[in-house]
Amino acid sequence: MDVSNFRKWAHRAADWSADYLENVGERPVRAQTKPGDIAGKLPVAPPEKGEDMAQIFEDVDRLLMPGMTHWQHPRFFAYFPANSSPPSVIAEYLTAAMAAQCMLWQTSPAATELETHVLGWLRQLLNLPESFQGVIQDSASSATLAAVLTGRERALGFRGNLDGLAAHPPVRVYCSEQAHSSIDKAIWIAGIGEANLVKVATGDGDALDAEALEQAIRVDRAAGGCPAVLVATIGSTSIGAMDDLRAIGEVARRHDLYFHVDAAWAGSALICEEHRHLIGGIEAADSFVFNPHKWLFTNFDCTAHFVKDPNALVKTLGIQPDYLKTQGEGGIDYSEWSIPLGRRFRALKLWFVIRSYGVERLQEIIQNHIRMAETLAQKVDAHPDFELTTNPSLSLFTFRYAPPGADDLDDLNARLLQAINDDGRIYLTQTSHQGAYVIRFQVGQLYTTEEDVEMAWTVIKQLVGGLSNANGGHSR
Ligand code: PLP
């Protein structure tokens, strides 16, 4: 494709994108296809000769769109949001056109300096300690892995060789039962071993219990273990549980643990002053992560990772083979702060989003989401056939259908969820809480309105009418 053709098709892509966003609300939220439906329509062999762009575009609509789940749908209430927004998409177009590698300062000075700059803006917006310095990672999972590796290295002595790991007292890592599975993965990848991940009991509000943590650390020390890392969660994936950073940070300080805070979803809400109390005590943390790609309207991938001591991160992840050495003066080489070497110009989309919306509008959108979730939670709570199983934590609550006299509520709710997602007008997902199957409801998509949330409630109430209850009765 020559550049003049590129211009034509790039315009077409812009039109396609605008049409998509204008009409996405008319599509079923979750793809309604069966496994293999899409693959079965694709040619087995790649084309020998280049194909016509018009045909390729047509095939996107005809072959692929039926199999897409629409994360930008205003009635996407599943998982956590993975928002995009027009300014972010535009920045992604530019990023893709330049396709720069931003691994070293020299390979793209503007990208590096903008990254430092926008993370400085985020640090101000969340009122994080000024000593924190930021880097954009591809995912919260990578940031947490980097934190676990840094904590492991600190405990073993930097570049503690892995031969030494077998001889070393087992490195112990602590988190709550609510913590995200990315912590389990980080433990596996770091070679620490699942047996050394201690999932500490939770207390009030499903927060990690500081006394239980203290106790677990003492027991481990007495048994010859090496307590090394604590991962706190602000906004757990299941139910939005919040750990008390002050209480557990004090334990981390007392035992000299590397203290990482995972606020992957909830972190965006901290741009609103009224929620900043949720990270009271953050000064004790060594690192903090949140995902603008979840709730700050910036396309995946974009994870903001803040660290108190960049040197510790660089000592853990930095490597300078001859072919990466640069001459002359330079700035930060962010590849030394990250697991992959190659890095996209991710700061550009954050810069576009923050400038284009402005802080006040971003705050307002998040505040609206939280209000909408609270309003619906009240309705659910007031309905005699439904139970609010966890109160709203920011914009997430859980509930279940529990009509009087029904038994096997887990099965009933699993069937309700299936009916909801097969219906397609809204999309919800499940979790378990205190041993019960519950349905999650989160409001966080950029385009969601009160009418969308109201429609969700209507759909749920309609669909329970079609379920036969486990006790043989029929719902009201
Ligand atoms: N931590 C929490 C609390 C999450 O909810 C999630 C994803 O939902 C993650 C970590 C992982 O995020 P990522 O997909 O950016 O790795």
pLDDT tens digits for 300-340? 999 999 999 999 999 999 998 988 888 878 899 999 999 99
Instruction: Indicate if 80 and 105 belong to the same structural domain.
Output: no
Sheet with 133-137: strands ordered across: 133-137, 303-307, 287-290, 258-262, 226-233, 171-176, 197-200
Q: Which two tokens stand for residue 161?
A: 């060789």
Instruction: Indicate if 173 and 298 belong to the same structural domain.
Output: yes
Instruction: Note the pTM of the prediction, 2 decimals.
Output: 0.95
From 175, 262, 287, give the residue whose CB has the most ligand 1 atoms within 8 Å, as the site to mutate: 262
Instruction: Indicate if 311 and 369 belong to the same structural domain.
Output: no
- Judge whether 353 lies within some domain: no
Instruction: Indicate if 163 and 245 belong to the same structural domain.
Output: yes
Nearest atom in ligand 1 to the alpha carbon of residue 291 is 15
- Judge whether 291 lies within some domain: yes
Instruction: Indicate if 340 and 363 belong to the same structural domain.
Output: no
Give the CA dihedral 132, 278, 187, 135, nearest 10 degrees. Answer: -30
Instruction: Indicate if 333 and 445 belong to the same structural domain.
Output: no
| Kind and range of the H or E run holding 389 | strand 386-393
For residue 171, list its beta bridge partners.
Answer: 226
CATH number at residue 117: 3.40.640.10
Instruction: Indicate if 323 and 364 belong to the same structural domain.
Output: no
| Contact (Cβ atoms closer than 8 angstroms) between residue 362 and residue 271 | yes
Q: How far is CA 437 from the centre of its chain?
A: 22
pLDDT tens digits for 154-200? 998 876 666 666 678 899 999 999 999 999 999 999 999 999 999 99
Q: How high does pLDDT run on average in the chain? A: 95
Range(s) of the domain holding residue 392: 1-30+69-84+359-476
Count of domains in the chain? 2
Q: Rounded to whole angstroms, how far apart are CA atoms 397 and 373?
A: 7
Instruction: Indicate if 169 and 196 belong to the same structural domain.
Output: yes
Kindly state if the Cβ of 393 falls inside 6 Å of ligand 1: no
Phi and psi torsions of 409, nearest 5°: -65, -25
From 234, 237, 296, 300, give the residue whose CB has the most ligand 1 atoms within 8 Å, as the site to mutate: 237
Kindly state if the Cβ of 237 falls inside 6 Å of ligand 1: yes
CATH number at residue 370: 3.90.1150.170
Instruction: Indicate if 318 and 261 belong to the same structural domain.
Output: yes
Q: Rounded to whole angstroms, how far apart are CA atoms 437 and 290?
A: 27
Nearest CA residue ID for atom 5, ligand 1? 237
Nearest CA residue ID for atom 2, ligand 1? 264
Q: Given 316, 344, 372, which residue is the final one in a domain? A: 344
Cα 267 to ligand 1 centre (Å): 11
**Is 342 buried (19+), middle (13-18) or exposed (0-12) by CB count in 10 A?**
exposed
User: Which pLDDT does position 475 carry in this prediction?
Assistant: 44
Kindly state if the Cβ of 176 falls inside 6 Å of ligand 1: no
- Judge whether 19 lies within some domain: yes
CA–CA distances in Å: residue 50 to residues 1, 54, 238, 421? 10, 12, 47, 39
- Judge whether 209 lies within some domain: yes
